[in-house]
Structure 1
């Protein structure tokens, strides 16, 4: 069972997590591999992650997000996180990962952020 859905937008691949535990389960290598495969199949991937359902973030979840960001950037792409619950946003701030990830409030801002990258 997949713990995320995808939707292609003209300017981005939108990934929505549907189960909060999927991202945080250290044994969930199929999730990690599926996310990494999505990125590898695109040139200059622009990915917006809808984090609304994620109500906590384990070290495994952080590792998946960091690994995904590195894979995206090696392909000259960009990743944006949006709709973070305050507890997840606070955790990323404490870990100073809010400086590493672009974080915006909603899908419209996420897509706009990704769109601006392609024009520079």
Structure 2
């Protein structure tokens, strides 16, 4: 019996997400760390509700920094702590509300880009 040809991979699926990029001044990192628990509670709530897909800091190195414990940890990033992050939402309204209601923005710790529509191919 001849070998059957390998199955072709499934075609990529197109998905639409909404991205918020935000940043803070490196000198403000201590203020950001103080506001972070409220920010984290809000993002956990949005994630549990299925509105937030992923969120995280963008850094200058390959060393990961866990913001939850960064104040107790000395890493190579201490010289250049993360000052930018992105949040990827499943709907535009949740992304817009994040920009208005999150403590990082209400406390004027961070500034954000307008919500950007991201049309992604998922393989």
TM-score between both structures, scaled by the size of structure 1: 0.31
TM-score between both structures, scaled by the size of structure 2: 0.30
| Structure with the largest fraction of strand | 2
| Structure with the largest fraction of helix | 1
Structure with greater contact order relative to length (CA < 8 Å, sep ≥ 6): 2
